[in-house]
Amino acid sequence: MGALHAGHLSLIRRAREISDRVVVSLFVNPTQFGPNEDFNRYPRSLDNDLNLLQKQLVDAVFVPEVSEIYPSGYSTYVTVEGLSQKLCGKSRPIHFRGVTTVVCKLLTIWRPHLALFGWKDAQQCIVIRRLVEDLCLPVKIVPCPIVRESDGLAMSSRNLYLNREERIAATQLYHSLQWAKQEVDRGETSSAVLLRGVNSRLLAEPLLRLDYAEIVDIRDLSPLEVITSNAMLALAAYLGNTRLIDNTLLIRELPLSETEGGPSDS
């Protein structure tokens, strides 16, 4: 959706490695924002984005107007049932309907052989994978690793919203993920134990308001009581009015070419 950062550029570099041609879409999609969310103030920096993409030597940039994607009278939406109602879907009930609709349209317009998505939005990757499989779309979804700031915060265009104090507090998301992963490495297998520890760490930060912390199976986002090779810890939290998400795979590491789950964290 624009406001490009190093995470986005890592997708483009990976695409150049595995593709003959690279197309980038820039579109702040209105249908994935709820009525009280940040569509109007979402960061937009088209001139800077185009300059960055030119330096990356992409072959084409698609910058449609809203009226091109959703013309007058538009009334068709694509919904992935079940997966879209979990995790972020609980607090953002229309979000994934907008995501799957616009992604389906973009894939239909450009008909790529590969489509790369960042694993920071792990649920999005999983939902889109199901969309592609269910609709028999001839494209392979390639999840790519999370790119982080030097202090561990996952790169996101919404990080621009954070003031200095909120930016410091936001690192607790990463620290909590790392704590849980270390506990699993030491032999902990109880999701309940891990989630108690994660919640206590996050709730100790007064600027942070937790939306959810869940340990789920990356294949279907179902909750896990015991850690398995497919376990992912996913978080969402607010700092002020800014909602941030993050996740880590607790055991499994996947090569980038696999699409049954996600890549290893970076």
Catalytic residue among 8, 95, 113, 175: 8
CA 21 – CA 24 distance, rounded (Å): 10
* 8 tagged catalytic: yes
Give bridge partners of residue 233 from the DSSP assignment. 215, 248
Supply the angle between the helices 164-185 and 191-203 in degrees, to the nearest 10.
160
What is the separation, in whole angstroms, between the first and last Cα of the chain? 22
Contacts of 130 (CB under 8 A, 6+ apart): 80, 83
Hey, is 266 helix, strand or coil? coil
CA 43 – CA 2 distance, rounded (Å): 8
Instruction: Enumerate the active-site residues.
Output: 8
